[in-house]
Homo-oligomer: A and B are copies of this chain.
Amino acid sequence: MGHDPIVSHAVRWRRHMLFQVLGEAGTHELLGHAEVVDAPAGTTVVSQGAPAEHFYLVLDGRMRLQVGDDCAGPSTLDVLGPGELIGQGAAAGGQPYAMSAESLEDSRLLRLDAATFRRMLEERFELTAFVLATISRRLCGLMRHLTALKMKTGGQRVADYLLGLTDAAEGPAEVRLPYDKRIIAETLGMRPETFSRALGKLRGLGVCRAGTARIRLADVGRLRDYCHLEAAEGRDARDA
């Protein structure tokens, strides 16, 4: 299978959980109906509400997940990078897509066949468990999103986001913003202006800009306190 272009693309991803679960034979079967598709920046690859005839593995680039009418106010839920799946839940359940996906930059995707996938689900329970787990994880993310939107101030959401970009548990750190601030702001449910202002207000907590798209955090611990202050006064509402 060395000279098959599809397989050779996919071989970079053979360590992906999806193919681990599928096994050698299953992987080959699924890739038999697969196709690599190019998505220039701004392409809408899946549309919310459309029947899910395919699902996708991101090979290169970044994809934005969004809900609502694409025209008026696209509300960004998340940005996915290489190695992540799009539409697997809808494909597995035989439901329409629950959200839309659009490329932020020139991207490449592996398009996989939903019908084949469903057929394989009937035989491999581990595959089902895998899909359920991915959906469950996304559901949790969505939930966190929603909770933050309703119960935290803009500043706290921004601080939360910055903290998510570093591994450091405390002390100083420096993070790189992975994409345009416009996109980040949308992801956090606010306007770019508001994002900018919020960032400004965090200067008092040791957050300062350090070059294009770089931000220095003087004290991660203090930031973390700020996030959980006010919003979650009580218990161990640590996570979900």
Residues of A near any B CB (own CB < 8 A): 48-49, 67-73, 75, 77, 89-90, 92-99, 121-122, 125, 128-129, 131-133, 135-140, 142-147, 149-151, 189, 231-235, 237-240
Task: Determine whether the beta carbon of B129 is less than 8 Å from that of A132.
Answer: no
What 15 additional pairs, Cβ within 8 angstroms, besides A71-B234, A96-B240, A98-B139?
A: A48-B240, A49-B238, A67-B146, A68-B151, A69-B231, A69-B233, A71-B237, A75-B151, A89-B139, A92-B132, A94-B133, A121-B125, A121-B129, A128-B132, A146-B149
The 9 A-B residue pairs whose C-beta atoms are closest, nearest first, are A69-B237, A93-B132, A71-B234, A95-B136, A122-B125, A68-B147, A93-B136, A69-B232, A73-B151
Give Cα A71 to B146, complex, Å.
17
Whole-angstrom distance between the Cβ of A17 and the nearest chain B Cβ: 14
Task: Determine whether the beta carbon of B139 is less than 8 Å from that of A232.
Answer: no
Q: List 11 A-B contacts (CB under 8 A).
A: A49-B238, A67-B143, A68-B147, A69-B233, A70-B234, A71-B233, A93-B135, A95-B137, A96-B240, A98-B140, A132-B132
A240: B residues at CB distance < 8 A: 48-49, 67, 96-99
Task: Determine whether the beta carbon of A136 is less than 8 Å from that of B234.
Answer: no
